[in-house]
Amino acid sequence: MVEYRYPNDLPSGSLPNTAPIGLFDSGLGGLTVLRELYRQAPQESVIYFGDTARLPYGTKSPAEILQYVREILTWMTQQGVKMVIMACNTSSALALEAVRSEFNLPILGLILPGARAAVQQGKRIGVIATPATVKSQAYERAIAEVDAAAQVWQVGCPEFVPLIEDNRIEDPYTSAVAQNYLQPLIDQNIDTLIYGCTHYPHLAPVLRRILPPSVRLVDPAVHVIAAAAQELDLLGLSNVRSPQPTRFCVSGCPTTFNRLATQWLGYTPIAEQIELPPVAAPVSMEVVEQ
Ligand code: DGL
Protein backbone atom coordinates (compact mmCIF):
# COMPACT_ATOMS: atom_id res chain seq x y z
CA MET A 1 0.00 0.00 0.00
CA VAL A 2 1.43 3.37 -0.97
CA GLU A 3 -0.14 6.28 0.81
CA TYR A 4 1.64 9.43 -0.22
CA ARG A 5 0.76 11.77 -3.06
CA TYR A 6 3.00 13.64 -5.42
CA PRO A 7 2.53 17.43 -5.42
CA ASN A 8 1.36 17.24 -9.03
CA ASP A 9 0.59 14.40 -11.37
CA LEU A 10 3.72 12.83 -12.73
CA PRO A 11 4.33 14.32 -16.19
CA SER A 12 3.13 11.51 -18.39
CA GLY A 13 5.58 10.24 -20.95
CA SER A 14 8.47 12.32 -19.60
CA LEU A 15 9.88 9.54 -17.43
CA PRO A 16 11.04 6.55 -19.46
CA ASN A 17 10.84 3.24 -17.62
CA THR A 18 14.49 2.68 -18.48
CA ALA A 19 15.41 5.72 -16.31
CA PRO A 20 17.46 4.86 -13.21
CA ILE A 21 16.29 4.81 -9.61
CA GLY A 22 18.21 7.23 -7.36
CA LEU A 23 19.49 5.81 -4.08
CA PHE A 24 21.38 7.87 -1.54
CA ASP A 25 22.96 7.69 1.88
CA SER A 26 25.68 9.50 3.80
CA GLY A 27 28.14 6.75 2.83
CA LEU A 28 28.32 2.96 2.78
CA GLY A 29 25.03 2.33 4.59
CA GLY A 30 22.91 2.60 1.47
CA LEU A 31 24.77 -0.38 0.02
CA THR A 32 22.60 -2.61 2.23
CA VAL A 33 19.60 -1.15 0.40
CA LEU A 34 21.31 -1.46 -2.98
CA ARG A 35 22.03 -5.12 -2.22
CA GLU A 36 18.31 -5.62 -1.59
CA LEU A 37 17.43 -3.82 -4.81
CA TYR A 38 19.77 -6.11 -6.76
CA ARG A 39 17.97 -9.07 -5.15
CA GLN A 40 14.37 -7.96 -5.62
CA ALA A 41 14.49 -5.71 -8.69
CA PRO A 42 17.61 -6.72 -10.66
CA GLN A 43 16.22 -5.27 -13.88
CA GLU A 44 16.40 -1.68 -12.56
CA SER A 45 19.28 0.73 -13.24
CA VAL A 46 20.57 2.71 -10.26
CA ILE A 47 22.44 5.92 -9.50
CA TYR A 48 23.95 5.63 -6.02
CA PHE A 49 25.08 8.75 -4.20
CA GLY A 50 27.12 8.66 -0.99
CA ASP A 51 27.53 12.01 0.74
CA THR A 52 30.88 10.88 2.14
CA ALA A 53 32.29 14.40 2.53
CA ARG A 54 29.58 15.18 5.10
CA LEU A 55 29.04 11.94 6.98
CA PRO A 56 27.92 11.08 9.56
CA TYR A 57 24.42 12.49 9.18
CA GLY A 58 23.23 11.08 12.49
CA THR A 59 24.82 13.77 14.62
CA LYS A 60 23.74 16.70 12.42
CA SER A 61 20.81 19.06 13.11
CA PRO A 62 17.42 18.53 11.43
CA ALA A 63 17.93 21.74 9.41
CA GLU A 64 21.29 20.55 8.09
CA ILE A 65 19.91 17.16 7.10
CA LEU A 66 16.95 18.73 5.32
CA GLN A 67 19.29 21.01 3.40
CA TYR A 68 21.56 18.09 2.37
CA VAL A 69 18.54 16.10 1.18
CA ARG A 70 17.25 19.04 -0.87
CA GLU A 71 20.62 19.33 -2.60
CA ILE A 72 20.79 15.60 -3.29
CA LEU A 73 17.24 15.48 -4.67
CA THR A 74 17.88 18.50 -6.88
CA TRP A 75 20.94 16.73 -8.31
CA MET A 76 19.09 13.42 -8.65
CA THR A 77 16.30 15.13 -10.60
CA GLN A 78 18.91 16.68 -12.90
CA GLN A 79 20.19 13.14 -13.55
CA GLY A 80 16.72 12.11 -14.75
CA VAL A 81 15.85 9.52 -12.10
CA LYS A 82 12.29 8.14 -12.15
CA MET A 83 12.14 7.54 -8.38
CA VAL A 84 14.28 8.22 -5.31
CA ILE A 85 14.73 5.75 -2.48
CA MET A 86 16.19 7.36 0.61
CA ALA A 87 18.63 4.65 1.63
CA CYS A 88 19.16 6.54 4.88
CA ASN A 89 16.93 6.41 7.95
CA THR A 90 18.15 9.76 9.25
CA SER A 91 17.05 11.48 6.03
CA SER A 92 13.80 9.50 5.99
CA ALA A 93 13.05 10.51 9.60
CA LEU A 94 13.89 14.19 9.21
CA ALA A 95 13.32 15.22 5.62
CA LEU A 96 10.93 12.86 3.83
CA GLU A 97 7.70 14.67 4.59
CA ALA A 98 9.11 18.08 3.61
CA VAL A 99 10.71 17.04 0.32
CA ARG A 100 7.76 14.99 -0.86
CA SER A 101 5.81 18.19 -1.30
CA GLU A 102 8.72 19.91 -3.06
CA PHE A 103 9.79 17.38 -5.70
CA ASN A 104 7.56 15.98 -8.38
CA LEU A 105 8.64 12.35 -8.34
CA PRO A 106 8.04 9.34 -6.10
CA ILE A 107 10.29 9.45 -3.02
CA LEU A 108 10.34 6.49 -0.65
CA GLY A 109 11.71 6.34 2.89
CA LEU A 110 12.52 3.51 5.27
CA ILE A 111 10.61 4.33 8.45
CA LEU A 112 7.06 3.26 7.61
CA PRO A 113 8.07 0.07 5.76
CA GLY A 114 10.33 -0.81 8.72
CA ALA A 115 7.64 -0.08 11.32
CA ARG A 116 5.03 -2.13 9.45
CA ALA A 117 7.35 -5.10 9.12
CA ALA A 118 8.34 -4.94 12.81
CA VAL A 119 4.80 -5.06 14.22
CA GLN A 120 4.20 -8.19 12.17
CA GLN A 121 7.14 -9.80 13.92
CA GLY A 122 6.62 -8.82 17.55
CA LYS A 123 5.17 -6.51 20.18
CA ARG A 124 8.30 -5.60 22.17
CA ILE A 125 10.29 -3.70 19.61
CA GLY A 126 13.81 -2.34 19.96
CA VAL A 127 15.17 0.26 17.56
CA ILE A 128 18.87 0.98 17.12
CA ALA A 129 19.45 4.15 15.13
CA THR A 130 21.49 7.34 14.84
CA PRO A 131 21.01 9.98 17.55
CA ALA A 132 19.13 12.20 15.05
CA THR A 133 16.68 9.41 14.13
CA VAL A 134 16.08 8.51 17.78
CA LYS A 135 15.51 12.15 18.69
CA SER A 136 12.99 12.58 15.86
CA GLN A 137 10.89 9.74 17.35
CA ALA A 138 9.91 8.83 13.79
CA TYR A 139 9.97 5.07 14.49
CA GLU A 140 7.99 5.43 17.73
CA ARG A 141 5.31 7.42 15.92
CA ALA A 142 5.17 5.12 12.91
CA ILE A 143 4.91 2.00 15.09
CA ALA A 144 2.17 3.58 17.25
CA GLU A 145 0.29 4.44 14.07
CA VAL A 146 0.28 0.87 12.77
CA ASP A 147 -0.10 -0.92 16.12
CA ALA A 148 -0.89 1.10 19.23
CA ALA A 149 -0.33 -1.99 21.41
CA ALA A 150 3.31 -2.44 20.42
CA GLN A 151 5.95 -1.20 22.88
CA VAL A 152 9.10 0.53 21.63
CA TRP A 153 12.55 1.08 23.12
CA GLN A 154 15.11 3.09 21.18
CA VAL A 155 18.87 3.37 21.55
CA GLY A 156 21.01 5.95 19.76
CA CYS A 157 24.30 4.39 18.58
CA PRO A 158 26.60 7.28 17.60
CA GLU A 159 29.75 5.12 17.46
CA PHE A 160 28.49 2.56 14.94
CA VAL A 161 28.66 4.60 11.70
CA PRO A 162 32.27 5.82 12.20
CA LEU A 163 33.33 2.25 13.12
CA ILE A 164 31.71 0.82 9.98
CA GLU A 165 33.10 3.56 7.74
CA ASP A 166 36.56 2.86 9.25
CA ASN A 167 36.12 -0.83 8.43
CA ARG A 168 36.41 -1.90 12.09
CA ILE A 169 33.56 -4.41 12.14
CA GLU A 170 35.57 -7.30 13.50
CA ASP A 171 37.50 -5.13 15.97
CA PRO A 172 36.84 -6.32 19.59
CA TYR A 173 36.15 -2.68 20.46
CA THR A 174 33.12 -2.72 18.11
CA SER A 175 31.77 -5.77 19.91
CA ALA A 176 32.14 -4.05 23.29
CA VAL A 177 30.36 -0.94 21.98
CA ALA A 178 27.55 -3.10 20.55
CA GLN A 179 27.16 -4.96 23.86
CA ASN A 180 26.73 -1.60 25.60
CA TYR A 181 24.11 -0.38 23.15
CA LEU A 182 22.13 -3.63 23.08
CA GLN A 183 22.13 -4.46 26.79
CA PRO A 184 19.28 -2.06 27.75
CA LEU A 185 17.17 -3.58 24.96
CA ILE A 186 18.00 -7.14 26.03
CA ASP A 187 17.06 -6.14 29.62
CA GLN A 188 13.64 -5.10 28.29
CA ASN A 189 13.14 -8.54 26.73
CA ILE A 190 12.62 -7.21 23.24
CA ASP A 191 11.37 -9.80 20.75
CA THR A 192 12.18 -7.75 17.62
CA LEU A 193 14.99 -5.37 16.68
CA ILE A 194 14.82 -2.85 13.84
CA TYR A 195 17.99 -1.83 12.08
CA GLY A 196 17.11 1.87 12.24
CA CYS A 197 20.20 2.86 10.24
CA THR A 198 21.18 1.37 6.90
CA HIS A 199 24.81 1.03 8.02
CA TYR A 200 23.90 -1.42 10.79
CA PRO A 201 23.12 -4.58 8.74
CA HIS A 202 26.87 -4.53 7.98
CA LEU A 203 27.23 -5.38 11.71
CA ALA A 204 24.86 -8.36 11.55
CA PRO A 205 27.42 -11.02 12.62
CA VAL A 206 28.49 -8.90 15.63
CA LEU A 207 24.92 -8.12 16.74
CA ARG A 208 23.80 -11.73 16.27
CA ARG A 209 26.51 -12.94 18.66
CA ILE A 210 25.18 -10.60 21.37
CA LEU A 211 21.40 -10.85 20.95
CA PRO A 212 19.37 -13.76 22.31
CA PRO A 213 18.61 -16.09 19.36
CA SER A 214 14.86 -15.50 19.79
CA VAL A 215 15.13 -11.80 18.83
CA ARG A 216 13.98 -11.22 15.25
CA LEU A 217 15.93 -8.68 13.22
CA VAL A 218 14.03 -6.41 10.86
CA ASP A 219 15.85 -4.77 7.98
CA PRO A 220 13.63 -1.98 6.58
CA ALA A 221 15.60 -2.18 3.29
CA VAL A 222 13.82 -5.42 2.41
CA HIS A 223 10.46 -3.73 2.77
CA VAL A 224 11.19 -0.38 1.13
CA ILE A 225 12.46 -2.18 -1.96
CA ALA A 226 9.31 -4.33 -2.08
CA ALA A 227 7.24 -1.10 -1.84
CA ALA A 228 9.34 0.55 -4.55
CA ALA A 229 8.90 -2.37 -6.94
CA GLN A 230 5.15 -2.31 -6.33
CA GLU A 231 4.99 1.46 -6.87
CA LEU A 232 6.94 1.30 -10.14
CA ASP A 233 4.59 -1.39 -11.31
CA LEU A 234 1.53 0.71 -10.45
CA LEU A 235 2.98 3.70 -12.29
CA GLY A 236 3.90 1.61 -15.32
CA LEU A 237 7.53 2.58 -14.74
CA SER A 238 9.18 -0.82 -14.16
CA ASN A 239 12.14 -1.41 -16.42
CA VAL A 240 11.65 -4.29 -18.81
CA ARG A 241 15.02 -4.01 -20.54
CA SER A 242 18.49 -4.92 -19.26
CA PRO A 243 19.79 -2.55 -16.58
CA GLN A 244 22.74 -0.19 -17.02
CA PRO A 245 25.70 -0.80 -14.69
CA THR A 246 25.15 1.06 -11.39
CA ARG A 247 26.62 4.55 -11.44
CA PHE A 248 28.32 5.43 -8.13
CA CYS A 249 28.86 9.07 -7.15
CA VAL A 250 30.31 10.50 -3.96
CA SER A 251 30.98 13.94 -2.50
CA GLY A 252 34.23 12.81 -0.81
CA CYS A 253 37.17 10.64 -1.89
CA PRO A 254 36.16 8.11 -4.59
CA THR A 255 39.18 5.85 -3.93
CA THR A 256 38.27 5.32 -0.29
CA PHE A 257 34.66 4.61 -1.22
CA ASN A 258 35.68 2.14 -3.96
CA ARG A 259 37.99 0.28 -1.58
CA LEU A 260 35.46 0.00 1.24
CA ALA A 261 32.45 -0.69 -0.97
CA THR A 262 34.15 -3.60 -2.73
CA GLN A 263 33.74 -5.97 0.23
CA TRP A 264 30.00 -5.25 0.47
CA LEU A 265 29.26 -5.30 -3.24
CA GLY A 266 31.43 -8.23 -4.29
CA TYR A 267 32.79 -6.11 -7.14
CA THR A 268 34.83 -2.91 -7.28
CA PRO A 269 32.78 0.17 -8.12
CA ILE A 270 34.29 3.09 -10.01
CA ALA A 271 32.85 6.07 -8.16
CA GLU A 272 32.94 9.60 -9.56
CA GLN A 273 33.31 12.60 -7.31
CA ILE A 274 30.52 15.10 -7.94
CA GLU A 275 29.57 18.49 -6.62
CA LEU A 276 25.97 18.96 -5.54
CA PRO A 277 24.13 22.03 -6.88
CA PRO A 278 23.72 24.88 -4.40
CA VAL A 279 20.13 25.11 -3.16
CA ALA A 280 18.94 28.16 -1.23
CA ALA A 281 17.62 27.37 2.23
CA PRO A 282 13.93 28.24 2.59
CA VAL A 283 13.24 31.31 4.76
CA SER A 284 11.64 29.24 7.53
CA MET A 285 14.82 27.17 7.81
CA GLU A 286 17.06 30.24 8.04
CA VAL A 287 14.93 31.44 10.96
CA VAL A 288 15.45 28.09 12.74
CA GLU A 289 19.20 28.36 12.21
CA GLN A 290 19.52 31.87 13.76
N1 DGL B 1 22.96 5.27 7.07
C2 DGL B 1 22.26 6.43 7.48
C3 DGL B 1 21.03 6.09 8.27
O4 DGL B 1 20.37 5.15 7.90
C5 DGL B 1 23.10 7.58 7.97
C6 DGL B 1 24.07 7.31 9.06
C7 DGL B 1 24.95 8.49 9.38
O8 DGL B 1 25.56 9.06 8.48
O9 DGL B 1 25.00 8.88 10.57
O10 DGL B 1 20.63 6.74 9.19
Q: Which of 24, 34, 89, 219 to mutate to test the pocket of ligand 1 (most atoms within 8 A of CB)?
A: 89
H helical segments located in 151-198: 160-165, 172-187
Among candidate residues 220, 249, 277, the one where a domain is terminated: 220
Q: How far apart are CA 173 and CA 166, in angstroms?
A: 13
**Do 53 and 184 belong to one domain?**
no
Residue-wise pLDDT for 83-97, tens only, equals: 999 999 999 999 999
Clarify whether residues 210 and 258 are in a common domain.
no
Pocket test for ligand 1, best of 32, 35, 85, 88 (most atoms within 8 A of CB): 88
Mark the ranges of the chain whose per-residue pLDDT is less than 50: 1-5, 12, 286-290
Last residue in a domain, options 198, 220, 242: 220
Cis peptide before 201 (omega within 30 of 0): no
| Spatial distance between the Cα atoms of 23 and 82, rounded to a whole number of angstroms | 11
Residues lining ligand 1, Cβ inside 6 A:
25-26, 29, 55-58, 88-90, 130, 133, 161, 197-199
Q: Could you tell me the residue range of the domain that residue 73 belongs to?
A: 12-109+222-289
Same domain, 39 and 171: no
Question: How far is it, in rounded angstroms, from Cα 207 to Cα 210?
Answer: 5
pTM of this structure: 0.93
**pLDDT tens, 134-161?**
999 999 999 999 999 999 999 999 999 9
Examine residue 21 and state whether it is found in any structural domain, yes or no: yes
Report how many domains make up the chain: 2
Say whether both 214 and 131 belong to one domain: yes
| Alpha-carbon 3 to chain mean position | 19
d(C-alpha 203, C-alpha 212), whole Å: 16
Last residue in a domain, options 188, 220, 252 = 220
